[in-house]
Amino acid sequence: MNVSSLCFRASVLFVIVGMLWGLHMAISEDHSAFPAHAHLNLLGWVSLFLFGVYYRFHPALERSRLALAQVWIWIVGTIVMAIGVALVHTGHDSGNPFAAGGSVIVLLAMLMFAWLVYRREFSGNSQPG
């Protein structure tokens, strides 16, 4: 599977879960977990979809093992972080290590993405491909 396809497929699943979560918060009138909903949507939908757009524009990265690892690490980090933030904001301190761990994982994945972008954009050819 192309890296961009993985991004697009995973991001639409994340946003469906995120929107259902938002609806649940609205209907139950309990917004306490909203930071987790916000992170799930912004990391899992917006950022992941944007990664997909970048990879789709640069076909040379579509089969890159580093790019594939970057996306999987991002997906795992998003799930771990959303669970941790949800636990913390609903009064469960046990969520702290998950929120912290997830944050470090997504930071690592963003550093990998930054490396891929800088390597590509400084290669002297920023044209697609």
Closest residue to ligand HEM, judged by C-beta, is: 22
* Contact flag: residue 23 with ligand HEM (CB under 6 A): yes
* Contact flag: residue 17 with ligand HEM (CB under 6 A): no
The count of chain residues that interact with ligand HEM, using the rule CB under 6 A, is 15
Nearer to ligand HEM, 39 or 58 (CB): 39
Q: Shortest approach of ligand HEM to residue 29 CB, angstroms?
A: 9
Map residues 48-87 to x or -, x wherever contact with ligand HEM holds by CB under 6 A. Answer: ----------------------------------------
Q: Shortest approach of ligand HEM to residue 85 CB, angstroms?
A: 12
Alpha carbon 105 to its chain centroid, in Å, reads 10
Name the nearest CA neighbour of 33 among 65, 73, 104, 81.
81
Alpha-carbon torsion, ordered 88, 91, 94, 97, to 10 deg: 20
CA distances from 59 to 52, 63, 67, 82 (A): 11, 8, 11, 31
What residue has token string 């771990």?
Answer: 80
CA distances from 3 to 6, 103, 126 (A): 5, 22, 19
Nearer to ligand HEM, 36 or 80 (CB): 36
Q: Shortest approach of ligand HEM to residue 93 CB, angstroms?
A: 22
